[in-house]
A and B are shown apart, each in its own frame.
Chain A
Amino acid sequence: MRVLISGMGGEHGTRVAQMLDASDWVDELIGFDLDPPRSRLRRATFHLVDPTDRVRTAALVRSVDATHVIHLGVYEPWSRSTPAEAEARNAASALHVLGAAAEGRSLRAIVVRSGLEVYGRSRGTPLCPDETVPTRPTSSFGRQLLAVEEAALQAGTAAEVPVARLRFASVIGAHVPNPLGRVLRLNVVPVSAFADPPFTLCHIEDASMAVVAALRAEVHAALNIAGPGAVTPIQATRMGGRVPLPVAGPAWVLAKAITQLVGSPLPGHAIELLRRGRGADTSLADEVLVRPPMLSARSVVHQLFDWESVRHGLARAEA
């Protein structure tokens, strides 16, 4: 198996690369990103390529001629990129990587990172949708994720290979640059004044294992990936000993500005989560993947506030 990972430089990409690097069923592991990986890899080859560089990206993907492509080059606004950068990179990355991958003669499967944001949170939509619920994103990031999924499906159709679209809950870990995680660690956390809706999370370890499992399964499906259970914004805030600050209506604009000033900017999809919640029915993924996510939302939040004891690749402990 010759695996290409786009977005290998991010926390998620690095962890997936580590897992595949240590496995005996991957013969070759190649990756690229606009930043190098966070950890040393034994066998993997990394290329420093900006995914918006069409010529270099397409040339690299074509030269690798991977049997399996893992597209983690999906940039969350205010994670490692500004919203404008994220939007440009997501569109370009999907086009360049998946378009070139579809031309490969050896291609057998595609795994693409998506998110629960694709379902949207408009009025009347289920809090915990399953994969049959129509995708109607109500945030910019949700629309970008849906576009990535569509690009992946087109590539899969062209190459006649299965495409696994992994719709992750917010992926959090102590060292993951997740805007929601940053906001929850502020001393004062903005929460909705009129609602305290539940949301689910996915730990970076579980998210990485889901990618590896989907790769091995070569499944053609959209799969919701989230840990069991849920927390609410006020609960998460109190678990960290922080102070919840009720915010209503136009005051969210002020909350956005203040969180940005203190270095924890709030993108639209995170505000949507704090105001409307976001869950998922993960029954299909639990059935298809060998090891469904194990860390509950509460455990993920505990680890978020527990800086010193979190390391890459250590055994996890339920709270």
Chain B
Amino acid sequence: MSAALAPDELPPASTARLVRGAARAVEQAVRGSVEIDPWGLDPQWYDLWAGAARVMCAIRIEGAEHVPDGPSLVVTNARIGVGAPAVVAAAVQDITGSRLRWAGLPDVSLATTGRRLGAVLGVQSELSAVLRSGQPVGLMARRQLRPIGRVGPVDPDPVGSAVMLDAPVVPVAVSARIGGRRWSVRFGAPLDPPPHRNPLAVVEHAEAVRTAIQELLDG
């Protein structure tokens, strides 16, 4: 299993370190000497991907105190573009030292790259296993085109996995200007767990997470 890094062990975000890291990653890939975890995460490629986000973006983090160590479900709003997952991954790694596992990987042959960067399937059994192993999981709300600026629905299956395992569910609002490099990542307080553990309670909890993210975006 890929070990979480202490905050003082995180690689500094600089282009030179990224290039050296990439060269090292390629060399180790050729030799087959990298330790991957059971779900396929390659720590070197993951750190390069998060490091690239740190170099290319100015990330402002708010509410870092709300992100727990250990297993948690971090739910964000969806954004157009591919930068948001890397930005949030870098933010979580900066706060906790842990590598975030994004849920929602499609189960197709070419998805290996996604697994190298920590993505996992969005099925409950896979997410439960990841949470049980003590790792944080990231989930993006579904994209909603209209009305503009509204957070889309949150998939209740991953929320259900977190609820059943008593893992905190943390709402996150991610915002940036299109084409800009300034990103804002606002973590909200983890939601109180639902009083009941049944499918209806899980659906209502997912809706509560959606509302919490919207409030963070609007606030």
Contact check, B39 vs A198: say whether CB atoms are below 8 A apart. Answer: yes
Report the 8 A-B pairs with minimum CB-CB distance, sorted nearest first. A238-B32, A194-B109, A126-B126, A235-B32, A281-B129, A198-B40, A126-B125, A195-B109
Within B24-63, the residues touching A (CB, 8 Å) are: 30-40
Cα of A107 to Cα of B111 in the assembled complex, Å: 48
21 A-B residue pairs with Cβ-Cβ distance under 8 Å, sorted by A, are A123-B108, A126-B121, A127-B120, A127-B121, A128-B39, A130-B128, A195-B112, A198-B38, A198-B39, A198-B40, A228-B38, A229-B35, A230-B36, A232-B112, A235-B34, A237-B32, A238-B30, A238-B31, A239-B32, A277-B40, A283-B129
Contact check, A128 vs B38: say whether CB atoms are below 8 A apart. Answer: yes
Contact check, A127 vs B36: say whether CB atoms are below 8 A apart. Answer: no
Q: How far is the CB of B157 from chain A (nearest CB, A)?
A: 12
Cα of A239 to Cα of B35 in the assembled complex, Å: 12
Main secondary structure of the interface of A (DSSP, over half): loop
Q: For residue A236, which residues in chain B have a CB less than 8 angstroms away from its CB?
A: 32
Contact check, B40 vs A231: say whether CB atoms are below 8 A apart. Answer: no
Q: How many A-B residue pairs have CB under 8 A?
A: 87
Interface footprint category on A: 35 or more
Q: Is B145 an interface residue (CB 8 A)?
A: no
Contact check, B125 vs A130: say whether CB atoms are below 8 A apart. Answer: yes
Q: Is A303 an interface residue (CB 8 A)?
A: no
Within 8 Å by CB of B125, from A129, A195, A197, A237, lies A129
Q: For residue A125, which residues in chain B have a CB less than 8 angstroms away from its CB?
A: 107, 123
Cα of A239 to Cα of B34 in the assembled complex, Å: 10
Within 8 Å by CB of B121, from A124, A133, A229, A275, lies A124
Q: Is A18 an interface residue (CB 8 A)?
A: no
Q: A198-B40, A232-B36 are in contact. Are A126 and B1 (CB under 8 A)?
A: no
Q: Is A192 an interface residue (CB 8 A)?
A: yes
Within A90-116, the residues touching B (CB, 8 Å) are: none
- B121-135 interface bits toward A, Cβ cutoff 8 Å, 1 = contact, 0 = none: 101011011001000
Number of interface residues of B (CB under 8 A): 27
Cα of A298 to Cα of B125 in the assembled complex, Å: 25
Q: Is A309 an interface residue (CB 8 A)?
A: no
Contact check, A127 vs B39: say whether CB atoms are below 8 A apart. Answer: yes
Q: Is A295 an interface residue (CB 8 A)?
A: no
Q: Smallest CB-CB separation from B130: which chain A residue?
A: A128
Q: For residue A235, which residues in chain B have a CB less than 8 angstroms away from its CB?
A: 32, 34, 36
Q: A194-B109, A234-B32, A239-B32 are in contact. Are A133 and B40 (CB under 8 A)?
A: no
Q: For residue A281, which residues in chain B have a CB less than 8 angstroms away from its CB?
A: 129, 132
Q: Is A196 an interface residue (CB 8 A)?
A: yes
Contact check, B109 vs A133: say whether CB atoms are below 8 A apart. Answer: no
Q: Is B99 an interface residue (CB 8 A)?
A: no
Contact check, A124 vs B125: say whether CB atoms are below 8 A apart. Answer: no
Contact check, A195 vs B30: say whether CB atoms are below 8 A apart. Answer: no
Q: Smallest CB-CB separation from B116: which chain A residue?
A: A196
- A290-318 interface bits toward B, Cβ cutoff 8 Å, 1 = contact, 0 = none: 00000000100000000000000000000
Q: Identify 7 new A-B residue pairs, CB closer than 8 A, beyond the known A197-B112, A198-B38, A298-B35.
A: A125-B107, A132-B125, A194-B112, A198-B37, A198-B39, A232-B36, A235-B32
Within 8 Å by CB of A197, from B32, B115, B123, lies B115
Q: For residue A124, which residues in chain B have a CB less than 8 angstroms away from its CB?
A: 107, 121, 123
Q: Is A200 an interface residue (CB 8 A)?
A: yes
Cα of A1 to Cα of B107 in the assembled complex, Å: 48
Cα of A172 to Cα of B59 in the assembled complex, Å: 47
Q: Smallest CB-CB separation from B31: which chain A residue?
A: A238
